Amino acid sequence: MGTNRTVAVFGAYGHTGRFLVAELRERGYVPLLAGRDQQRLQALRQPGEEARPASVDDPASLDRALAGAAAVINAAGPFASTAGPVIEAALRAGIPYVDVAAEIEANVDTFAQYGPAARAAGTVVVPAMAFYGGLGDLLVTAAMGDWAAADEVDIAYGLSSWQPTAGTVKSGTVSGERRGGRRVRYSGGQLEYHDDALPTQEWEFPEPLGTQTVIGEFSMADIVTVPSHLAVPEVRTHMAAKAAADLFAPDAAAPTAVDSRGRSDQTFVVDVVVRAGEASRRVVATGQDIYAISAPLAVEAVDRILTGRMRGTGVLSAGAAFDAPDFLAALSAHLKVHNPAAARD
């Protein structure tokens, strides 16, 4: 590993950005704080750290912000606006790029537009390295194991609640506008935009959560990351109905910290079922706070990239870039993963 331990965080003072900065410090990295607001950057800065103002509208400012960094993590949404400029700045600097984008269309754009440039630069771009998109992809990849292909994947999110950040709300608005109010799903090996009503069903989560009503085809970034490298024509994500109601409530409150790490009291269960013919495999992950867990996911990714524990260059999802079971095991302090004896029928 090189001696450079400086990792730029664009959007460092945002809700997820602060978790990222804390995780980098805890793991012995030096966060380089970047974003629009110099005053907020300075308030977050600790001795020995730099705060560099930068805007996606000003490429030169991004170049200055990334100068001397070993890698960059983009935590500033909406990623429809920020991903492209920050990726391009990372490519100019010749450093790896990781983001925590949950926006489906922004992730599609990243895969479609930056693969050749990242390979030519000899570096890697890892989008959606977060709770949505990254964690699900790692779990599906681990569940697939030695299977070369599967018929379908279901990822059910059992959130105890969902207190959205301002960034989540804004990103959702941008995604809705890009879709023209339509819904999106991954079926028949491609993304489909549609106006069909979303189905509801009962999902048998492992105990103690148990059976919960979920909204089917509540599509998240996993419908981009999983099929980017796995041969699965049907990828569906489902959301606990209670959490979805929280998200869309007109008076939805932002997360409130309940512990010294700044985490909310939200808990989650991610239940993954992969089917191939009559066979099925299941992997379940549990933890606390969907925003907080994105920090160890993204920082672990950066650490593996900088220490050469990754697969290839270009634009890669979490499951394609890393050894999924080993990656998940490395997060044992933050995430509990197990394989129930039987898959859901």
**What is the pLDDT, as a whole number, of residue 253?**
87
Taking the mean position of all CA atoms in its chain, how far away is CA 325? 17
**Cα–Cα distance for residue pair 309/137, rounded to 1 Å:** 18
Tokens of 3: 């001696």
* Region(s) of the chain under CATH 3.30.360.10: 131-290
Contact 175, 22 (CB under 8 A): no
**What is the pLDDT, as a whole number, of residue 1?**
47
- Sequence-distant (6+) residues with CB within 8 A of 339 are 281, 282, 283, 284
Tokens of 43: 């308030």
Mean pLDDT split into 10-residue runs, the chain, 345 residues: 87 98 98 97 97 98 98 97 98 98 97 98 98 98 97 97 93 91 96 96 91 96 98 98 94 93 96 97 97 98 97 97 98 92 46
CB neighbours (10 Å) of residue 3?
A: 5
Mapping DSSP onto H, E and C, the string for 88-154 reads HHHHHHCCCEEECCCCHHHHHHHHHHHHHHHHHCCCEEECCCCHHHHHHHHHHHHHHCCCCECCEEE
User: Which pairing describes strands 152-159 and 234-240: parallel, antiparallel, or unpaired?
Assistant: parallel
* Region(s) of the chain under CATH 3.40.50.720: 6-130+294-324
**What is the pLDDT, as a whole number, of residue 345?**
39
**What is the pLDDT, as a whole number, of residue 54?**
98
Query: Check: CATH 3.40.50.720 for 6-130+294-324?
Result: yes
**What is the pLDDT, as a whole number, of residue 29?**
98
**What is the pLDDT, as a whole number, of residue 342?**
46
Contact 306, 96 (CB under 8 A): yes
Class of domain 131-290: alpha beta
- Sequence-distant (6+) residues with CB within 8 A of 11 are 17, 34, 35, 74, 75, 76, 77, 82
How far separated are the first and last CA of the chain, in Å rounded?
46
